[in-house]
Amino acid sequence: MIFTLILGFVLLLIGIYGMLSQRNLIKIIIGFSIADTGIHIIIVSIGYLRNRTAPILNSAVDISKAVQQVVDPIPSALVLTAIVIGLAVTALMLSFVVELYKKRKSLSIDDYQELKW
Partner 1 sequence: MIKKTLVLIAIVGLLMVFWPLMSNFEFSQNLSELASNYVRGSVNELNTQNVVTSVIVTYRGLDTLGEVTVLFLATVGIGFLLGKRKGKKRPASELLQTTSSFLFALIVLFGVYIFTHGHLTPGGGFQGGVVIATAFLLLMLSDVNMKFNHTILQIVESFSGAFYIVIGIVGLVLTIGFLSAEIIPLGEFGKLISAGAIPIIYSFIGLKVGSELTNIIDTMRGE
Partner 2 sequence: MISVIMIVVLGVIMIVAGIIALHLKNLLAAIITAGTISLLASVIYLILGSPDVAMTEASIGSGLTTIIFLYALNKVQKEDKND
Binding site for partner 1 (CB under 8 A): 1-2, 5-6, 9, 12-13, 16-17, 20-21, 48-50, 54-58, 63, 66-68, 70, 72-74, 76-77, 80-81, 84-85, 87-89, 91-92, 94-96, 98-99
Question: Which helix H or strand E contains 70, and what residues bound it?
Answer: none
Site membership for partner 2, residue 16 (CB under 8 A): no
Phi, psi of 69 (to 5 degrees): -120, -10
Q: Supply the minimum distance, in Å, between the C-beta of residue 31 and partner 1.
A: 12
* Residues near 38 by beta carbon (within 8 Å), at least 6 away in sequence: 7, 8, 9, 10, 11, 12, 13, 14, 15
Q: Supply the minimum distance, in Å, between the C-beta of residue 114 and partner 2.
A: 21
Please tell me the distance from the alpha carbon of residue 66 to that of residue 4, in angstroms, as a whole number.
25
Helix 25-46 to helix 2-21 angle (10° resolution) is: 160
DSSP state of 76: H
Bridge partners for 70 per DSSP: 53
Residue from 33, 39, 61, 109 binding partner 2 (CB under 8 A): 33
By the criterion CB under 8 A, which residues form the site for partner 2? 1, 3-4, 6-7, 10-11, 14-15, 17-18, 21-22, 24, 26-27, 29-31, 33-34, 37, 40-41, 44-45, 47-48, 52-56, 70-71, 75-76, 79-80, 83-84, 86-87, 90-91, 94-95, 97-98, 101-102, 105, 107
